[in-house]
Amino acid sequence: MSARLLLAIESTCDETAAAVIRFDLRVMSSVVSSQDDLHARFGGVVPEIAARAHVERILPVIEEALSRAHVALSEIDAVAVATTPGLAGSLLVGLVAAKSLSLATGKPLIAVDHLQAHIFACRMEAERNIFPCVGLIVSGGHSNLYHCAGPCDFELLGGTIDDAAGEAFDKVASMLGLPYPGGPHIGRVAMDGDPQAHRFPRPMLRDREGCDFSFSGLKTAVRYEIAGPGQPDISASHLTPQQIADIAASFQEAVVDCIVGKALLAIERTGLRRLCVGGGVAANARLRERLADESSRRDIELHIAPPRLCTDNAVMGAIAIERYHAGLFESLDLDAQPGLVRASRH
C-alpha cells in the first residue's frame, strides 16, 4: 500500500500556502504565495488586504500543491490547517477551505498551532526525532520559548512583552529607509557594517527576568540614534551608506545577543540539551552563526529550520501527522483562535 498523504494549509498572516506531505514526512509538494508586494507600500501587513488576497489565492494554491504532487484530492488521507495564532480574517480563509475539503472528501480535519509548526520545521530537516527540546520561535509576530516535551506537548516558557523580534527588524529597517519586509534587508546591509559601532541596549537580558523578551526599548534607542530624542519625524536621508550599515549591524548584534541569551537561559532552566529554532528571523545569518557557536561550545544539539522553512510555509504543517497518530481530530465546529495559546498539551 502506498504511503498515506496529508494536505496542509497555511494562511495565518500574509502567506497563502499548501503542501502535500507523505506520512513518512516526505514532502511531495509545497506552494507558497507571498503577499509582500501587496503590503510593501504600507510598511507592514494590512489585515483586510491579507484576508482578501487569501480568498483569491487559497484554491489556486491548493490546486497547485495537489497538481505538483501528482495527487488527486480523493487520494488525500487528512486535511490540516493552521488555526492559531494569526490574523482573524486570514485564519478564517484557510479554516473554511480546510473544513470544506474535509467535508467533501470525508477525511479527518486536523488543527495546527502555527508556532508549534515553526518548531516542527526543524524536524522536517533533521529527518529524525527532535523531541524533547527547547523550542525557540522568532518571527514577525512572536518571540517565544517553549519546553517541547513532544510534538503534541508544548509549554510556553516565555515570550515577548512588546514587539516581536521580526517586528523590531521591520520597524528599524523602515527607519533606515530599507524596504519591507525589513529583516532580510537589515541582514544584508549589516554585512558591511561594524556591530560595535553603537552600543544599543540588550533589554531584559538578566537571568532574574526569566525567559521573556522585550525589543521596543532597543527599537527606540535606534530611533534616537537616527533622529535624536523627541524628534517627531524620522528620516535616514542624512545618513551615509556606511552609517546605515553600522546602525543595522549594531542593532542586529543587540537582537541576536538577546535571543541567544534567552535561549541559553531556557536550556539551563529546563535541563534539556537540544535547541530547535524556527520562524522568519531564524533565517538571519548572524543569528544562525551565533547560535551554532554558542551551542557547540556548550555541547547543545542545535537544529535550525532551513531558511526556506523559516518563513511561513505549509510544509511545517506536517506536525499534523503527529496529531493524526495521536488521534487528535477536529469536528467541523473548529474555530480559529487569533490570540496566542500559552500552553497546549493534548
Residue placing its CB nearer to Zn ion in the complex, 11 or 29: 11
Residue placing its CB nearer to Zn ion in the complex, 300 or 320: 320
Identify the DSSP state of 326: T
Q: Which stretch binds Zn ion (CB under 5 A): 136-144, 155-163, 282-290, 336-344?
A: 136-144
Cell of 275: 535547541
Amino acid at 161: I
Binding status of residue 135 toward ligand KG4 by CB under 6 A: no
Binding status of residue 16 toward Zn ion by CB under 5 A: no
Q: Which does 108 bind (CB under 5 to 8 A by kind): Zn ion, ligand KG4, none?
A: none
Are 67 and 7 in contact, with CB atoms under 8 Å apart? no
Q: How far apart are CA 26 and CA 39, in angstroms?
A: 33
By C-alpha distance, which of 258, 241, 197, 189 is closest to 222? 197
Residue placing its CB nearer to Zn ion in the complex, 113 or 253: 113
Residue placing its CB nearer to ligand KG4 in the complex, 17 or 157: 17
Residue placing its CB nearer to ligand KG4 in the complex, 89 or 141: 141
Give the number of residues in contact with ligand KG4, rule: CB under 6 A: 19
Are 85 and 115 in contact, with CB atoms under 8 Å apart? yes
Q: Which stretch binds Zn ion (CB under 5 A): 145-153, 190-198, 246-254, 305-313?
A: 305-313
3-state class percentages of the chain: helix first, strand second, coil last, to nearest 5: 45, 20, 35
Are 124 and 20 in contact, with CB atoms under 8 Å apart? no
Binding status of residue 139 toward Zn ion by CB under 5 A: yes
| Interface of this chain with ligand KG4, residues 172 to 191, rule: CB under 6 A | 181-184, 187
Q: Which stretch binds ligand KG4 (CB under 6 A): 1-9, 100-108, 138-146, 224-232?
A: 138-146
Residue placing its CB nearer to ligand KG4 in the complex, 151 or 181: 181
Binding status of residue 166 toward ligand KG4 by CB under 6 A: yes
Question: By rule CB under 6 A, what string of x and - marks binding of each residue 13-52 to ligand KG4?
Answer: x---------------------------------------
Binding status of residue 139 toward ligand KG4 by CB under 6 A: yes
Residue placing its CB nearer to Zn ion in the complex, 31 or 249: 31
Binding status of residue 83 toward ligand KG4 by CB under 6 A: no
Give least dist CB 279 to Zn ion, A. Answer: 6
* 31-39 long-range Cβ contacts below 8 angstroms, 24+ apart: 31/61, 31/64, 31/65, 31/68, 31/314, 32/311, 32/312, 32/313, 32/314, 33/57, 33/60, 33/61, 36/180, 36/181, 38/14, 39/14, 39/180
Binding status of residue 222 toward ligand KG4 by CB under 6 A: no
Using a 10 angstrom Cβ sphere, with 0-12 exposed, 13-18 middle and 19 or more buried, the burial of residue 257 is: middle
Rg of the chain (C-alpha set) = 20
| Interface of this chain with ligand KG4, residues 261 to 290, rule: CB under 6 A | 279-281, 283-284
Q: How far apart are CA 43 and CA 316, in angstroms?
A: 27
By C-alpha distance, which of 109, 110, 213 is closest to 156? 213
Q: Look up cell 519586509; give the residue.
A: 181
Question: By rule CB under 6 A, what string of x and - marks binding of each residue 307-326 to ligand KG4?
Answer: ----xx--------------
Are 80 and 108 in contact, with CB atoms under 8 Å apart? no
Q: Which does 169 bind (CB under 5 to 8 A by kind): Zn ion, ligand KG4, none?
A: ligand KG4
Alpha carbon distances (Å) from 272 to 132, 145, 258, 268, 275? 7, 13, 20, 7, 8
Binding status of residue 312 toward Zn ion by CB under 5 A: yes
Q: Which does 283 bind (CB under 5 to 8 A by kind): Zn ion, ligand KG4, none?
A: ligand KG4
Are 291 and 302 in contact, with CB atoms under 8 Å apart? yes
Point out which residues bind Zn ion (CB under 5 A).
139, 312
Point out which residues bind ligand KG4 (CB under 6 A).
13, 139-141, 166, 169-170, 181-184, 187, 279-281, 283-284, 311-312
